[in-house]
């Protein structure tokens, strides 16, 4: 496994930089975030990497930080998320921001990545939410608890997904007691809707 490379940037191609290592020019596929951090051609660059081996190809993916590489590897463990899609998700924001978005259940943030639909974003949140704290490089970071507004929006989205109109969901949640999490708010909303 090739975990990092260091060498001279020969060129910046649409798929990523070509970096010369030991006289060989390697095309390294990178996110737009990593691409923006690279030096101009002729300068030396260092990247954390992941080598993806398939029957028809060997693709090297590069990352400006080990944290981005760790997230990329986590994303590719989710069913239906391949390396290209994982790289597109990495481009949505900094690794810490993405980790916090997943911890908060913010699937909408992940949907801003090219090729990521609602189901894929929700699957990413569902499968990775509890694992992110144990990923290397992230153990010491505090996960910010979702705000009351976040909880309300999650509950509203849940009620809409169950077939209620947004206005009905808002009305059902209007008199909810303070301090309920999203699940509690959905229960409250369902009970209120049944009474109508």
The CATH number that domain 66-134 falls under is 1.10.150.20
Asked whether the domain spanning 66-134 has the same topology as the one spanning 4-63, the reply is: no
- The model carries a pTM of 0.67
**In the prediction, which pLDDT does 37 show?**
93
> What is the rounded CA–CA span in Å between residue 87 and residue 69?
9
Residues 6+ apart with CB under 8 A from 117: 111
Per residue of the chain (196 residues), give pLDDT as tens. 789 999 999 999 998 999 999 999 999 999 998 999 999 999 999 999 999 998 888 999 999 999 899 999 999 999 899 999 999 999 998 888 888 888 888 889 999 999 999 999 999 998 898 777 655 555 444 444 556 666 777 788 888 877 888 888 888 888 888 878 878 888 888 888 887 7
Nearest-angstrom CA–CA distance, 46 and 135: 22
Token output for 23: 């006289």
CATH of 148-195, one of 3.30.360, 1.20.140, 1.10.8, 1.10.357: 1.10.8
Q: What is the 3-state secondary structure (H, E, C) of 9-33?
A: EEEEECCEEEEEECCEEEEEEECHH
Pairing of strands 16-21, 4-13: antiparallel
Instruction: Select the CATH number that applies to the domain covering 4-63 from these four: 3.90.470.20, 3.30.565.10, 3.30.160.250, 2.40.50.140.
Output: 2.40.50.140
Closest CA to 76 of 124, 139, 13, 20: 124
pLDDT at 106: 87
Where exactly are the structural domains of the chain?
Answer: 4-63, 66-134, 148-195
């Amino acid at each position: 496994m090739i975990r990092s490379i260091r060498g001279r940037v020969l060129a910046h191609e649409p798929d990523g930089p070509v970096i010369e290592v030991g006289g060989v020019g390697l095309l390294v596929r990178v996110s737009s975030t990593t691409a923006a951090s690279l030096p101009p051609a002729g300068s030396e660059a260092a990247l954390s990497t992941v080598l993806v081996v398939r029957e028809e190809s060997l693709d090297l993916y590069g990352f400006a930080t080990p944290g981005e590489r760790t997230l990329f590897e986590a994303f590719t463990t989710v069913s239906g998320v391949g390396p290209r899609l994982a790289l597109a998700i990495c481009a949505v924001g900094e690794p810490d921001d993405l980790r916090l978005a997943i911890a908060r259940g913010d699937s909408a943030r992940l949907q801003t990545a090219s090729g990521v639909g609602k189901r894929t974003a929700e699957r990413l949140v569902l499968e990775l939410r509890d694992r992110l704290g144990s990923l290397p490089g992230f153990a010491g970071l505090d996960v910010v608890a979702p705000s009351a507004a976040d909880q309300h929006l999650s509950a509203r989205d849940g009620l809409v997904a169950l077939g209620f109109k947004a206005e009905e969901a808002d009305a059902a949640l209007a008199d909810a007691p303070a301090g309920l999490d999203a699940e509690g708010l959905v229960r409250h909303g369902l009970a209120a809707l049944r009474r109508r």
